[in-house]
Structure 1
Amino acid sequence: MLRSLVRGPAASLFPAAAMASYYATSHGNATTRNESSVGFVRQPARAIIANPDAFAAKLGRMAADGPSQLLVIADFDYTLTPYHTPTGEHAHSCHGIISGSGFLGHEFQAKANALFQQFYPIEISPLLTQDEKEPHMVQWWERSHKIMVDYGLHAHHIKDAVANADITFRDGFQPLFASLAKANVPTLIFSAGLA
């Protein structure tokens, strides 16, 4: 039943967006890219649902309510953007784009990298709960932003870093957001990286 409910270009993006796309549109086929020209194989999109019956009931209610009752809230880093590049490397986050740009100098890059080395293992640790991770993530965010200010980050640095970045959106992003816009579904991109 779930497979028949989650359709359209957003099905390959992420489950919440797939639901949103279902309500905003009522046709189309899920698409996923299985391999790239460089040989990196991407696994088909999937979602693990703890209670499929409850999920299907919620999805059905959302479908019945229609797009006028829908609000989409999405994270940016590694939700709207892929976790890996087409070559299989770890993709940049918003902070990573600034840190790796070189526009704030080598000393800034070294400090930003030291923070990444300290805090990223905590962020991805399967041994810590979200509550245990949260104070460390707040500290990482605060310290990262402090060094950006200390090293003179200005709007033109951000513009230049983004213009030179290799960041991409996930497959299905453009048709999903076009569908949401066409259906006048309010959409909020919420991210600590964009704060």
Structure 2
Amino acid sequence: MNSLSKLPSSLRQLVILFSPNSTKPNINTKYQKILVTVSISAIGLSIAFSYFYTRFKSFRKKRTITKIIETIPELKSKNVKISDPDYVEMMLQNFVNSGKERLQVVSDFDRTISLCSYNGQPCLTSNAVIEMSPFVSSDLRTKFKELREYYLSIEHNVHMSKAEKLPYMIEWWTKSLDLVVKTQIESANLKDIVRNSTTHLKNGCKWFFHTLERHEVPLLIFSAGIGNIIEEWIVQECGSYKNMTIVSNFMTFDETTKKINGFSGSLIHIFNKNEGVLLDTKHEASILNRPNVILLGDSLGDTDMANGFPSLNHVLKIGFLNDKVEEQLPKYMEAFDIVIIKDDTFIIPNAILRSII
């Protein structure tokens, strides 16, 4: 009896009814059959419910795990803002399913790859590294500063459109590069200029560069700065990379005097950085059949860097918002899919790349 008492009531009735050693209750055969049928049905329903409930919980768990955005804890940081998580999830799903063979990266340099501050001090851009170097006279340094103070306020004016800013940016870059030529620095000075500057690359860049090269993912660095400085900067801190292309304003030097005598190619300024300038080049060939783009920038103008190739289907735009957060955040949230606020590391790009490769 003790063992029978532990059974469910429906099973206990069946045992009593069919036990040869028990005295069956006084009940006719018709009702016995009804009782048996009902008991068996109840047991069957209980087993079925338990089975499907377990499967449902398992299905719900699998659905949760397959959301890529939930598997990247770095995206939950307080300094990371995502206006449309469902859209970012869709992009990540596409990137993962397509594989690294369909991926490319396009990035700005100054204050995207390079630091904004170091040991509490503001860091210089690739232009300013030359302007502040000991090879530049104090008179020219003052002129550089005057240009920067005047035009920088226009560049960061959130109430002006790109079209309104464009002529000012062309004017600024033209005047600034003319002053660089007047410095008459020599090609041999570049290593010391970079080595003695206070500016560094963000922590995590080296892993990012190395991983992209190891997996043969093309990396395009677009900059309105000085290409020679950017190139030297990366070599000194990280090394050289065969998958990397730098599009910027590159200084040219006189073969005899070794002094700067101009710049090669067309002027690259903040609003004409886009892959359209690379049509019919070696880089274009390297990104064929790579429609998925991770784009990294720190200004609203950087969102156009992947423009120019019609085959680019999916562009995940990641923006570094470095200052004037309250004023500029709404605009950045509109322009970029992911906004990273005041972060001097490459933690977020690395986490996203790690989830794809």
Q: Secondary structure at the match of 1:150?
A: helix
Contact 1:75 1:189 in 2 (8 A): yes
Is 1:4 matched up with 2:70?
yes
Contact 1:85 1:91 in 2 (8 A): yes
Q: One-letter code of the match for 1:56?
A: E
Superposition CA RMSD, Å: 2.3
Is 1:53 matched up with 2:95?
no
Tell me which residue corresponds to 1:167: 199
Tell me which residue corresponds to 1:70: 103
- C-alpha distance in 1, partners of 2:158/2:68? 28
- Count of residues in Structure 1 that have an aligned counterpart in Structure 2: 161
Q: One-letter code of the match for 2:114?
A: T
Q: Which protein shows a greater Rg?
A: 2
Tell me which residue corresponds to 1:151: 183
Tell me which residue corresponds to 1:120: 152
- C-alpha distance in 2, partners of 1:166/1:102? 13
> Structure 1 pair 77/139, CA: closer, same or farther in 2 (3 Å)?
same
> Structure 1 pair 98/2, CA: closer, same or farther in 2 (3 Å)?
farther
Using the TM superposition, give the Cα deviation of residue 175 of structure 1 relative to its aligned residue in structure 2, in angstroms.
1.3
- C-alpha distance in 2, partners of 1:45/1:159? 38
Tell me which residue corresponds to 1:18: none
Is 1:85 matched up with 2:118?
yes
Using the TM superposition, give the Cα deviation of residue 51 of structure 1 relative to its aligned residue in structure 2, in angstroms.
2.2
- C-alpha distance in 1, partners of 2:163/2:139? 32
- C-alpha distance in 2, partners of 1:122/1:5? 40
Tell me which residue corresponds to 1:129: 161
Contact 2:135 2:183 in 1 (8 A): no
Q: One-letter code of the match for 1:189?
A: I
> Structure 1 pair 167/142, CA: closer, same or farther in 2 (3 Å)?
same
Q: Secondary structure at the match of 1:189?
A: strand
Contact 2:69 2:92 in 1 (8 A): no
Tell me which residue corresponds to 1:38: none
Tell me which residue corresponds to 1:182: 214
- C-alpha distance in 1, partners of 2:98/2:179? 46
Structure 1 residue runs without a partner (length 5+)? 16-29, 31-43
Contact 2:115 2:200 in 1 (8 A): yes
- C-alpha distance in 2, partners of 1:190/1:72? 11
Contact 1:102 1:109 in 2 (8 A): no
Q: One-letter code of the match for 1:57?
A: M
Tell me which residue corresponds to 2:319: none
> Structure 1 pair 141/56, CA: closer, same or farther in 2 (3 Å)?
same
> Structure 1 pair 189/161, CA: closer, same or farther in 2 (3 Å)?
same
Tell me which residue corresponds to 1:139: 171
Say which structure is richer in strand: 2
Using the TM superposition, give the Cα deviation of residue 2 of structure 1 relative to its aligned residue in structure 2, in angstroms.
5.9
Q: What are the within-5 Å matches in structure 2 for residues 103-114 of structure 1? A: 103-114=135-146
Residues 118-161 of structure 1 show CA distances to partners (whole Å, capped at 9, x for unaligned) of 11111222222333223222221111100111231332333321
- C-alpha distance in 1, partners of 2:97/2:142? 52
Using the TM superposition, give the Cα deviation of residue 184 of structure 1 relative to its aligned residue in structure 2, in angstroms.
1.0
Q: Secondary structure at the match of 2:184?
A: coil
Q: One-letter code of the match for 1:161?
A: I
Provide TM-score, normalisation by structure 2: 0.42
**Could you say which structure has the greater relative contact order, defined with CA pairs below 8 angstroms and 6 or more residues apart?**
1
Provide the identity percentage.
25
